[in-house]
Amino acid sequence: MAVVQSAGADSWAWFRARCARLVARGDGDAEREALDRLDRTAAVLGAVDEGERERVRAVHAVLWQGEFASLLESLAQEERDQLVEQLVELTREFEAEDGPSRGAVSGNTFHGPTAVQTGDHNRQENHFGSGR
């Protein structure tokens, strides 16, 4: 359900990237495929009219539940337990009022060179001007 709830939310890009990374388990091709599936879900949910929205959300929630169930079944118990823990944490972070949206940049106006960074544990170096 967290997938369909996050689609269209301010934190979608953050959730989408984290979810795909977890589903892929370090496989770049699998991560790209997960990103494509997440994008398709978001596109469908964004295009559906208000009268059909809840039904379509329920269908996609079941589809993602099946996706996660299949993935979990394919893993050894230790990996399964670890992934479940990570998925629960992802859901908690998304649902938290002070979660990933705390780093969101919205409604700002910048005049001149600007560097913006969100997220945790990042490093950024900026050099503006001619460098002389």
The secondary structure of residue 112, as a DSSP letter, is: S
Torsion of CA 42, 48, 49, 50, to 10 degrees: -50
Instruction: Please state the pTM of the whole predicted model.
Output: 0.67
Q: What percent of the chain has pLDDT over 90?
A: 38
Which pLDDT does position 99 carry in this prediction? Answer: 47
- The model's pLDDT over 64-108, given as tens digits with 9 standing for 90+, comes to 999 889 999 999 999 999 999 998 888 888 876 444 445 555 556
Mean pLDDT of 32-38: 94
